[in-house]
Amino acid sequence: MSEVIISIKNVVKDFGSVRAVNNANFDVVKGEFFSLLGPSGCGKTTLLRILAGFEVPTTGTIEIDGQDVTLNPPNHRPVNMVFQNYAIFPHLNVASNIAFGMRKSELSKVDLQEKIDQMLELIKLPGYGDRKADELSGGQRQRVALARALIKQPKVLLLDEPLGALDKKLREQMQIELRQLQQHVGITFVFVTHDQEEALTLSDRIAVMSQGDVMEISSPADLYENPQSRFVADFIGTMNFFRCTLKDFSDGVAVGESKELGSVRIQCSEPVCAVNQDFTLAIRPEKLALEFDSVEDSVNSVKGTMGPSAYLGDRSHFYIYLQGREDPVSVALQNLSGSLEHVRDTDREVCLTWSDDNCVMLADYE
Amino acid sequence: MKSRRINSFAVYAVIYLIFLYLPVAVLPLFSFNDSSYVKFPLVGFTLKWYSQLADSHGLQNALVNSLKVGISVAIISTILGIFAAKSVTRYRMRRSGLLVGFIMVPLVIPEIILGISLLMTFSIGGVKLSLITISIGHLMLCVPFSMLVLISRMEGFDKSLEEASLDLGENAWWTFWRVTFPIILPGVVASLLLTFTISFDEFVLAFFLSGTDATLPVHIWSQLRFPDKLPSVLALGAIIVVLSTIVILFAELIRRGGVQLNKQSKV
Ligand SMILES: Nc1ncnc2c1ncn2[C@@H]1O[C@H](COP(=O)(O)OP(=O)(O)O)[C@@H](O)[C@H]1O
Ligand SMILES: [Mg+2]
């Protein structure tokens, strides 16, 4: 069932001395919502423009639906793009914008009109055909750009940060609509974003990029729960990192030693390094628990002092100082009973604990 | 205090406008005066100078020549202007600033110098003077204006609009006609009108570079030697003033439409 629709092979793109994409090598599966995620300037747009045909890779090939299209211009590819600024034609009304790509279609006037009406229905702007481009809000322009691309029934739809210009509320609403739309039309989406939350919400799979490299490709849950590198762990969500040395491994349990945490146990099928070598232990803030009464130092727990805290409505963030560590450890607790006001006194002694299956071993360390 | 300031400004404006338009108003006034002598008092109302115009062969030829030169210069310089403006704004050519500077130079060289040097060039090259040599001279004057008008029109042009057209299946040719051209159309019309007017009015270059075929300004100048032809020339001048005003108003209307279009293309 998992049929490959895009195959990116050894793609490198240099702009002069800048390497925008460094040896990208992956497949996109038919019908999936695939995201390219990474900080600004990491090469997401460049990779997307290579797929659309606006850039030719320095080396490497692009196959779409089994055909090598590396050198095909944009008008000879079965893909369409939604531009970052939407690129709605200002001299045409909404209907003409949507119909722009249909000049060569064999549809009769009546059929084309019907098709346009269907698209307007699909993007929830029925009756907007006669509106001029400048009478549309940002969200409406974004929908028109979608309809203009989707009416071509592309094999792949490419989207470059299409929600970036919208305010937060509208963006969240459009995320839901976009996901529903993708499931409804069944077209493969390749979606570029620098917003990790957006990528997690929308995607079937995410490729995380950094400085031209594709660091890791996984499902959102895997990226969050089991990142394979420090960069990915740090970029997606918040993460606490601790440097440890591996002391022993047996029966799926690694035992490590850390200056800051003391003795640690980690469940894993295979350790990331050999015994007596260093690794990074990564623990999410919400996987840490705070104990206020029995302040006892044992395995997978450590004593600390309460630093500043922040109340965020549904949850609170606490910052705990450990001996021998400069940055405080970040802990997130659900505000299940009131605002946790009573535990916020700074300087009080607390104990951090976590379970051995809730932490991640990473091979790279700083 | 404030109203006094406005009053003094109004006075200034009125004086300025009188200074500007009084000489122009003299043209139509005497073109209806039933006398060969341009002096007060006016003698009586007549349309005979206008009907004389219709009978003058030389004048009609000159008019046709001017239209030929003006229209071809307007079209060619606007096309060149589109190409130049496109490459300057789109491809950010290296040293395009310097290049644009060089293209603008004819604007500041006195026309008489330009006329003499062109005349020398043509005679060295053995080129016979004709409407074509006039047109070449006018092109040198008009291309910079076309470029200025079109560069300012294309400066805000969003490159992704053309990319969107390619992405939606059109090639470069259709992209130009379906996207680029309609969006820069107000600039194109303004450039056509402006360059036509410049060529139609131009005297110095046309005087140097004309062979046996005179353009309208050259013809008018030649007629001024015959005092009895003067009222006819005035009638002609009056017609040109009215037509020019209409053209300029039209260009301004289009330009205003263009400003609105510019706003649309921004998000
Ligand atoms: N046309 C170009 N010419 C030169 N450098 C470019 C060009 N396009 C992108 N770059 C460079 O390539 C890198 C990646 O850019 P881009 O793909 O736009 O990143 P992103 O979309 O992830 O923010 C950046 O360093 C950028 O400066
Ligand atoms: Mg980008």
Q: Is the model's pLDDT at B18 over the cut of 50?
A: yes
The residue contributing the CA closest to ligand 1 atom 2 is: A15
Q: Is the CB of A42 under 6 A from ligand 1?
A: yes
Nearest residue in chain B measured CA to CA from A145:
B164
Q: How far is B172 from chain A (nearest CA, A)?
A: 10
ω into residue A328 within 30 of 0, thus cis?
no
First to last CA, chain B: 43
Contacts of A84 in chain B (CB under 8 A): 160
Residue A227 shares a structural domain with residue A249: no
Q: Is the model's pLDDT at B223 over the cut of 90?
A: no
Q: Which helix (H) or strand (E) holds A178?
A: helix A168-185
Find the A18 Cα to ligand 1 centroid distance in Å. 8
Q: What is the pLDDT of residue B4?
A: 57
> CB-based contacts of B186: which residues, under 8 Å, 6+ apart?
B153, B254, B255, B257, B258, B261
Ordered structural domains, chain B, with CATH: 57-266 (1.10.3720.10)
A267, β-bridge pairs:
A253
Q: What is the CATH number for A348?
A: 2.40.50.100
Residue A41 shares a structural domain with residue A100: yes
Residue A221 shares a structural domain with residue A248: no
Q: Which helix (H) or strand (E) holds A355?
A: none
What total of structural domains would you count in chain A?
2
Percent of chain B predicted with pLDDT > 90? 29
Q: What is the CATH number for A176?
A: 3.40.50.300
Q: How many CB atoms lie within 10 A of CB B38?
A: 14
d(C-alpha A132, C-alpha B27), whole Å: 47
The residue contributing the CA closest to ligand 1 atom 14 is: A43
| Main-chain dihedrals φ then ψ at residue A316, nearest 5 degrees | -125, 145
Q: What is the pLDDT of residue A166?
A: 85
Q: Is the model's pLDDT at B265 over the cut of 90?
A: no
- Determine the residue type at A360: V
Taking the Cβ of residue A72 and every Cβ of chain B, the question of whether any pair is shorter than 8 Å is answered with: no
Check CB contact under 8 Å for B160 and A85.
yes
Check CB contact under 8 Å for B168 and A148.
yes
> CB-based contacts of A298: which residues, under 8 Å, 6+ apart?
none
Per-residue 3-state assignment (H helix, E strand, C coil) for A276-340: CCEEEEEECHHHCEEECCCCCCCCCEEEEEEEEEEECCCEEEEEEECCCCCCCEEEEEECCCCCC
Q: How many CB atoms lie within 10 A of CB A339?
A: 11
Nearest residue in chain A measured CA to CA from B166:
A75
d(C-alpha A293, C-alpha A350), whole Å: 8
Residue A226 shares a structural domain with residue A246: no
Residue A22 shares a structural domain with residue A163: yes
CB neighbour burial string for A12-35, b if at least 16 within 10 angstroms, e if fewer: ebeeeeebbbbebeeebebbbbbb
Q: Is the model's pLDDT at B83 over the cut of 50?
A: yes
| Main-chain dihedrals φ then ψ at residue A282, nearest 5 degrees | -120, 130
Give chain B's radius of gyration (CA, Å). 23
> Which atom from ligand 1 is nearest to the alpha carbon of A16?
4
Residue A146 shares a structural domain with residue A9: yes
Q: Which helix (H) or strand (E) holds A10?
A: strand A4-15
Counted across chains A and B, CB pairs separated by less than 8 A come out at: 70
Taking the Cβ of residue B171 and every Cβ of chain A, the question of whether any pair is shorter than 8 Å is answered with: yes
pTM exceeds 0.95 for this model: no
180-209 in chain B: CB under 8 A from chain A = 182-183
Check CB contact under 8 Å for A75 and B179.
no
Give me the mean pLDDT over the B6-35 stretch.
82
Domain closes at, from A201, A234, A267: A234
> CB-based contacts of A300: which residues, under 8 Å, 6+ apart?
A264, A265, A353, A354, A355, A356
B44-70 confidence digits (pLDDT tens): 788 878 888 877 788 888 989 999 999
* Inter-CA distances, A171 with A28, A141, B31, Å: 25, 13, 70
Q: What is the pLDDT of residue B262?
A: 44
Of A111-125, A153-167, B168-182, B225-239, the range with the lowest mean pLDDT is: B225-239
Query: A13 with A37: CB under 8 angstroms?
Result: no
Closest CA to A259 of A275, A246, A245: A245
Helix (H, G, I), strand (E, B), or coil: what is residue A214?
Answer: strand
Ligand 1, from A17, A46, A58, A214: best to mutate by most atoms within 8 Å of Cβ?
A46
Q: What is the pLDDT of residue B3?
A: 54
Residue A141 shares a structural domain with residue A278: no
| Burial class of A280 by CB neighbour count within 10 A (0 to 12, 13 to 18, 19+) | buried
Q: Is the model's pLDDT at A30 over the cut of 50?
A: yes
A245, β-bridge pairs:
A257, A278
Residue A83 shares a structural domain with residue A175: yes
Taking the Cβ of residue A152 and every Cβ of chain B, the question of whether any pair is shorter than 8 Å is answered with: yes
The residue contributing the CA closest to ligand 1 atom 3 is: A15
d(C-alpha B252, C-alpha A90), whole Å: 21
Q: Is the model's pLDDT at A322 over the cut of 50?
A: yes
Domain closes at, from A203, A234, A265: A234
Residue A279 shares a structural domain with residue A326: yes
Q: Is the model's pLDDT at B95 over the cut of 70?
A: no
ipTM: 0.85
Residue A86 shares a structural domain with residue A190: yes
More confident position, A176 or B108 = A176
Chain mean pLDDT for chain A:
91
Check CB contact under 8 Å for B264 and A80.
no
Domain closes at, from A185, A213, A234: A234
Q: Which residue has the tokens 């699909």?
A: A122
Q: Is the model's pLDDT at B251 over the cut of 80?
A: no
Query: A316 with A333: CB under 8 angstroms?
Result: yes
Determine how β-strand A188-193 pairs with β-strand A156-160: parallel
Q: Which residue has the tokens 């940055």?
A: A327
Q: What is the pLDDT of residue B261?
A: 47
Query: A37 with A218: CB under 8 angstroms?
Result: no
Most confident of the ranges B36-40, B85-89, B136-140: B136-140
Residue A158 shares a structural domain with residue A263: no
The residue contributing the CA closest to ligand 1 atom 16 is: A43
The residue contributing the CA closest to ligand 1 atom 7 is: A15
Taking the Cβ of residue B166 and every Cβ of chain A, the question of whether any pair is shorter than 8 Å is answered with: yes
Residue A228 shares a structural domain with residue A284: no
Find the A95 Cα to ligand 2 centroid distance in Å. 28
d(C-alpha B144, C-alpha B105), whole Å: 8
Ligand 1, from A11, A18, A22, A35: best to mutate by most atoms within 8 Å of Cβ?
A18
Q: Is the model's pLDDT at B36 over the cut of 80?
A: no
Chain mean pLDDT for chain B:
83
Q: Which domain holds residue A185?
A: 4-234
Q: What is the pLDDT of residue B235?
A: 84
| Main-chain dihedrals φ then ψ at residue A233, nearest 5 degrees | -60, -40
A224-279 confidence digits (pLDDT tens): 999 999 999 999 999 999 999 999 998 889 999 998 898 999 999 888 899 999 99
Question: Which residue in A72, A88, A91, A148 has the most chain B C-beta atoms within 10 A of its own C-beta, making it the best mutation to test that interface?
Answer: A91
Q: What is the pLDDT of residue A192?
A: 97
pLDDT confidence bin for A215, thresholds 50/70/90: very high
A349, β-bridge pairs:
A305
